[in-house]
Every structure is written in C-alpha cells, then in structure tokens.
A and B are shown apart, each in its own frame.
Chain A
C-alpha cells in the first residue's frame, strides 16, 4: 500500500465500521490532483470510497482562504440538498478515529483531467451539454440557503478580492506593470456587487467529474466562500482553464450564452455578459498572483521543487491574457 501502517490500520478499522463487518479494506491508492488536500481511493469487499484528508492528517489549511475539511463536508451535504451533482458524504471523521481532519465520500466514476475531456471522442456528447450543465449546477450552488452554512466561510466581493490579492502581490515586492494596469482598470470599472451567495470558488475542469453524459459531480469545495455569483461563472471562463481551447470560452468546451441561458432558466437571475468580462479579468489576475504565491514557496525555500520554481514562469501567461482582455475592453 505504500503508506505508513498506522494510517492503514486506522483506515481499515474505519472502513469496516462504515461499510459493515464483511467489508475488509483491500486497496488504498493515493490519487493525483488536489494540490492541497490528500485524496485517497479505498476499496474492499465490493465497497469503494474516497477519503479526503488534510496533508498528513493535520488541519493546517493551504491558505487563509481554504475552509477546513469538516466545513467542506457540510457544504457538499448542503449542495446535495439543492440538487447540485456531488458525491455523497458517507462519514465525517471525528478526532477519535485517529486519522486527523478528513471525511469519506462516495466514489463517483468519471474523468477529471482536462485534456481527455476536451479532446477524446468519447466525451464529444458530454462536451456538447457541459456549458448548460455548468449553468444548471452553478444556479443550484448559488441557490443554497446561506443561513446555517458553516461559520468558517469568509465573505468577499470583487473589490475586496482585488484588495486582498493586491496586498499579497505587493508583499512580494516584484512589480509587474501589467498587473498594476489591470488592478487600476478593475477598480475603475467594477460593476455593482450582487447579493452574496455561496460561491464554489474553484469551479473548473480538474474539479469537475465528467463522464460520457457530462457533469456528474462538483468536487473540491475548499475555496468556497460567500460572494458574488458572477465570480464562479467567470472563473471557468479564465483562459488558463480553457486548457488550450481558447475558442470555447467556458472551460474550453462551451459558449457563455449556453451557460447563462441555463443559469437564468434555473434560477431566474439574468447575468449581464459584460460583467462576466470584468470578473474574468479579475479571475485572470487572481490566478497570476496565485502563481506568484506558488513560486514564492520556492523562492523562500519552503518548497525547493523544480515544479514550484517553474510555475513562476507561468505568470506571464496570465499577463498576456490580461493584455488581451484590456485590449478588448478598450477597443
């Protein structure tokens, strides 16, 4: 199994407790993806599940924006109640289980990796439906009643996010004129905020389980917060999340009008496409500063991997996207 034996033993005990006496844990496999949380596929006796766990079982969050795993489990349950396709939460682990901060959920089958979803023939009909399915799912997420959601959720609208990311950017003392221009433009042209809803916070390929029928589960709720619904709609439009298929604005697979039509049909809210342009620029800026944060882990010595060093050279990708968006906005 390749993991420490305490972990395996505790996991085996839990597996039998959740699935009943006949279910013996047979396989434990660490899944790739999920940069900040560990995701394990576990199976035995015909049963299977996914374990979401903080790295090494400790609850230190990736950033101040990430909610804890127990809050994430509560959100997934709330999302299921309003019809968002999500895995079923099977068991939230208390400290007594000895496994740290984590929860078990159903193992939804499908593909999360963008490249096959966007290129392989088997996903053609999925791609045709996906933009409107994303509109449906986002409408359902944004309809989750916010009273009674976990208190860990932070609230931030667009201008608050600009301020938050500007502070991080300035702390690196690595001035980038394109970021300066984008921040000034965003501050000057901000649309009035919409009433706060539950925002998923990282709704894009990679965090969506897709099969031949399309969207089957929305995953990775750790960046959820209260905010403007247009943030989620625009985040999946950010060019980095089109994975090379720039002509398809929604995630590299679909058109914004299809997403917005489905969204409006499901939740009645009419979203102005020009506002999505603004939020896409903000999303692009945020992703650029996130790349700077990841590079900072290398620069500071916290993570000496070549991968963290290399990500610093992806910041310029977001700069050219910002230039393209600024050109369009000022044409």
Chain B
C-alpha cells in the first residue's frame, strides 16, 4: 500500500486546519472543543511515534514479572498482572513491579499529557 501522505501527515494536516483556519472563527463552547480536538490530534501524533517502542518495553517488563508464553498478547498479560495484584501474589514489595509500572506509566503520560506535572516529579 502507498503511504503518501502518511498517517502522521494526514493528522498534521487536520490539526493545522483546526489551529489555523477553524479555531480563529469559533467562539465559546465550540472554540473550547476545537482546542480539545487539536490536543487530541497532538496525542495521536505522539502515539504514532512512541507507542510501538513503548509496547515492546511494556511486554518485556510483563514477561519478566509473569510466567507466560512470549506470544501472549499485551492485553492478556496486563489482565493477568491485575489478577495477581488483586489476589496478593504480587504487591508493592515485589522486586521490579513498581519499577515496571513506573516505566509503562511514564511512557503512557509522555503520549497522553507530556507536560503533566506528575511526570516531571516521576523523572526526578
């Protein structure tokens, strides 16, 4: 399949349209939603760029914590992690658990809200 324009280019074009053409003509509630929409597209662009490597790291972290087949999907691995925390097999004292959750959460916030104050705190 061709990729010109790429997914990122298409999203960038729509974001530029919202920011430069649509937003200046909007007021009140519609202007607010246009700002939100532009921020959402910025999130989509970060996700396109960062998610593949973030998921790779997340998978490696989960496989280090759980006995599971290498081919298990991320969704199943995370479900299993949740169950093990819920039933007390894994806890905040488990070596590596908090570190894994911190890494994956930081990667998620880098995509969702990279300027969030809590992310700066986590980095220090």
Contact = CB atoms under 8 A, between A and B. Distances in A.
Interface of A: 175-178, 180-181, 184-185, 239, 242, 244-246, 305-307, 309-310, 313-314, 316-317, 319-321, 323-324, 326-327, 329-330
B6 interface: no
18 contacts: A176-B82, A177-B78, A177-B82, A180-B85, A180-B86, A181-B91, A184-B85, A184-B88, A184-B91, A305-B33, A306-B33, A306-B37, A306-B40, A316-B109, A320-B109, A320-B121, A324-B118, A324-B122
Interface residues of B, number: 34
Contacts of B86: 180, 184
B92 A181 contact: yes
Interface of B: 32-33, 36-37, 39-40, 43, 78-79, 81-82, 85-86, 88, 91-93, 97-98, 101-102, 105-106, 108-109, 112-113, 116-122
SS class, residues of chain B in contact with chain A: helix
Contacts of B117: 239, 242, 244-246
A323 B106 CA distance: 10
Contact of A246 (B81, B102, B109, B120): B120
Contacts of A307: 32-33, 36
Contacts, number: 95
A329 B93 CA distance: 11
Contacts of A185: 91-92
A205 to B, nearest CB: 14
Nearest to B116: A317
Nearest to B29: A32
Contacts of B113: 313-314, 316-317
A181 B101 contact: yes
Contacts of A317: 109, 112-113, 116, 118
A320 B119 contact: yes
Given A177-B78, A180-B82, A184-B85, A323 B105 contact: yes
A27 B81 CA distance: 57
Contact of A314 (B33, B93, B102, B112): B112
A291 to B, nearest CB: 11
Given A181-B101, A320-B118, 8 more contacts: A309-B40, A314-B113, A316-B109, A317-B109, A317-B116, A317-B118, A323-B122, A330-B92
